[in-house]
Amino acid sequence: MEQEDFMSGCSYGTPKVRRSKVLTEQEEQVVIAFRKLTQLPLDDCLYTLQETIHHLSRSTLHRCFQRHGCPLEKVQIKEKVAKKQFKAYSISYFHIDIAEVQTAQGRLYLFVAIDRTSKFCLARLYPFASKSAAVGFLQDLIAFVPYKIHKILTDNGIQFTNRKGGELAFEHMFDRIYEQEGIDIERLN
């Protein structure tokens, strides 16, 4: 009888509930492109990407990075060398850039904005890297950031600026938003 009482409390025959979620190929490519573009640590990637990939877990993200050769950077102790000091930036200095992501269904464009000081980050996927997508992303960024944006750094891509200058060139939609919001613009050469 003691044997039966012992066995009745065990769960030998019941299946375990699986809680892991598998990423689709498209989701994996987005995750890898985001990591390579931003170089953020695992937890920062997780918190940012969970906004668009709701079922993403820390262990799933870690395994994906390992599978694709993006493991966590190990801290290496080096000899003390005179370190070059980075320029000090005030909070709300954002860098905006675009990366192309190849998926099984075609290509998508990943827009990313990162605050240089706080590392606050926003990422969005768009089917096209157009001016309207860039403007929509900028408007989302302004609405999403909990503080006022003072300066934005972009490249000279067609999404962010008109390439033709002169008196007949139209004002770019991006420039209108900068002026309305009182944001300074800096462009990479």
Condensed to tens digits (0 to 9), the pLDDT of residues 48-86 reads: 899 888 889 999 999 999 888 876 555 444 556 666 766
Q: Is the pLDDT of residue 9 over 60?
A: no
The residue assigned the tokens 């262990």 is 59
Is residue 38 left, alpha or beta, with left meaning phi > 0 and alpha meaning psi from -120 to 50? Answer: alpha
Closest CA to 127 of 100, 104, 109, 103: 109
Q: Which residues contact 20 (CB under 8 A, 6 or more apart)?
A: 57, 59, 60
CA dihedral sign of residues 34, 38, 39, 41: negative
Q: What are the structure tokens assigned to 164, written together?
A: 């033709």
Whole-structure pTM value: 0.53
pLDDT one-digit tens code per residue, 118-162: 888 999 999 998 888 988 998 999 999 988 888 888 887 777 776
Distance CA 109, CA 67 (A): 23
